[in-house]
Structure 1
Amino acid sequence: MNIRFKSALCGMSLLFSGMLLYITVMHYQLSAITALVVLFSLAQIIWLTALYHRAQRFPEQLFRALSNGDHTLGLPVTHPLRQDYEKARNQMQETRLDAQRQVQFINAVFNHINLPLLICDEQGQIIEQSSAAKKILNIKINNLESLKQGSPDIFTFVSSATTNQQSSFTWHRNEQPETLYVQVSTLQIQYLQYKIVTLQSITEQLNAKEQQAYKQLTKVLTHEVANSITPLASMAQTCLALMPDGLQFDDQEDKQDLTLALSTLASRSTHLSEFIREFRHLSNLPAPQLQAVQLYELLSSVKQLFDSQHPNVMFRISGITQVMCTLDIKQIEQVLINLCKNAIEAIATTQNTQPQIDLIARYNEHAQLCVDICDNGPGITEQASKMMFVPFFSTKQQGSGIGLSLSKQIMLQHGGELIYLHRSQGACFRCVFG
């Protein structure tokens, strides 16, 4: 419709121009050549005017075509501008596809690397985080403020870091505190500054170093003490045997005192020798002999043992006990016996309360099988909870400080952990199986 209108308009313009030219020629009696020149000039003016208006409307047509999604621009296929535009459009599409492929590749690598990693901008907003970071922190991180939930010290350290820095902190988000090694690096791209934060749990490495140090200490102490105690015990027993029955003293009490002193020296030396042999288990603990066992059967055998010895204590087994697990039965039984024995000794100090010990099987937040040994006793003081797994430390007068240390060592050799859970009432130890 638009083209027909333009054609009619042009025809009318030419007709009008011809009539005007005819009137002018007849009125002024011009020659045919002059009339042709005037007519040609008039045609040139009309053509140039139409060309100018078309040039003025061309950008508007291009932008309208682009806004409507018309990639032909309303131009014929052979038009040079359309061909150049098609080339430019293909190049931009290829560039965009390359950029998308690079982003997808980087994201894939970012999420598959087993490295907790956070990237934040100058305002502290997290723009990228690896799946390993979500797993180790166990919280949703949108900005650096979120780090305050587990450790205000980590938030302060990362926020104030202006150069490459590193340090270690304790992360309290999980039931078991994690020791995290935090490293902050700064990066500047196009006048914008970013921070790259890497988080690495070093709890297992610290536990391994700690146990190794305890083993070395145990070897040295047991060796040195045994070398001194064994001759003393032998000499005391020899002296007792060499004392003749008819040996006379000026004061009969002196003989009794000497006999008592030698007997005490011999008995205490023997007791220390037994203690050293027992303590050597920490440094000479054999590797676990793993075998499949029904967890309920293992817990039931421990319960039956204490039911017969302590009928006044209520033992209860609950949780997901119908599950198979792979472990060293003798070693894990020893761990459970040590923990139940400690619980019985603790609740013996309570009054007007039915002594109760619960053996609860469950999975923790990391889908690891756990057994909680909980009692309704007085609990453990904060100071004692910090030292309870240190060899030789004990809150009991006759305690050796071996039971919890040995139990922790056994759990570590099973690829698990032994931790103390703070409760509002009573004490609770968790055996975590790896």
Structure 2
Amino acid sequence: MVSGRILRIELRRSIAVWAGTVFLLVALAFLFGLTGPWTAYGERWTAQWSAAALWERHLLLFLLPLVVGAGALQGLRDRRAGTGELLAATPRPAWQRSAATAGALAIALVAAYLLLYGVGAVQVAAGGGVFHLGWAPVVAVGALSLVAAGWLGLGAARTLPSVLTPPALAIATLLAMFPVVGLWQEEVVPKVAYLAPALDNARSLVHDLSGWVSLGQAVWLLGVAATGFGLLAATRPWARPAALLPAVLGAAVALPLLPSGSEPVYVVNAAAEPVCSGRVCVTRAHEDLLPVVAGPGEEALRLLARLPGPPRQVRESAERDAVHHPPARDAGIVYVDFDVRDARSTGEKLTRHLLAGAGTPSCHSLRGDDFDGRLREEAARRMAAGWLMGDVAAPTADPVFQELNALVEQAWPELRAVPEREQGARVAALREAALSCDGDLLAILTDGRR
């Protein structure tokens, strides 16, 4: 066994503390020094407990290569000092000598990871975040991933003792992580992508990673950590190939545990619980916005009552945004998404946002490539809101929206030129088409056809 005294010596004399410090400082530089999706209003990393955990895992995309490289640098210590043969001649087992080095590195890295989460957690608690324990497995697996990466670097450098090993491992890890994490956004995600400890963007404050995903990742990372330690402690030629077995077994056990097809990767947490004022509901994560939404929401429902089969409730969706699929829709509900800029407005502007598309979400996914279709749909959505409110919104000042403004200015008179009853029928037809994402919404308004 490794005594506490030996661990303290390793912490002082190895690069373990330095590795943890560099990890923490680089991560904080990302979160506080750079503008990214983790600073966005609706997705900021200090908004909820789960958001802090998920964004910390996302940053592993950039930070794990540093950890692997640091582990490899530590693994070259005996070669740099020229003490390899001397240590091999001592009666102390090689695995005990390796355990001291690996243990010190693991302690420093786990402490840095937990301290980073603690920085976010303090701000979440101060901001009134909804406390639950769904984030705990996400944080635990993230800390385990640092141990696995650090030990893999240690073992790889002991196996290939070259000054080129640390930078080569760091670059190889970075190049491997990007395409694997990118697979999380594919329409059909291969199971192997879920083995990556770095996560996709945290696009929701009310979701946690599924327990099965965390379990599968933990099994795989334990195998990688065992492989790294095995390579570090190996003293015989046959021991190095045998050390690869835990990683292979870990992957073989983990892959069947991971979701496939329609199985959920993310699950809702306590922050998704609805909080209501009359017919308007938001999640507990946005409870502070309920007074802002309640009035415009009730006004939107009142105006939509002019249409057949009107919605009965305004509700914040607890669905995680999908990259390839349009948002969920329900004929009885007007959904509000606070990640959208207009949904963070107030009063009449917020009412107009809720009335867009006659109270329906957009039919285009986050990764829609049909620019003309998106442009025509947005023009129709604005016109439907304008008809319900009595006038179309003023043109958007941003030059990026010039084409949209021109389309609305051309189509609006065409809608207003027909009798009032026909206008109402066309807006009702637009709502029906938008609920099924079927048809050209702008053509419905201007020509009365799909």
TM-score by length of structure 1 reads 0.20
Q: Which has the higher helix share?
A: 2
Which gives a bigger RCO, structure 1 or 2 (Cα 8 Å, sep 6+)? 2
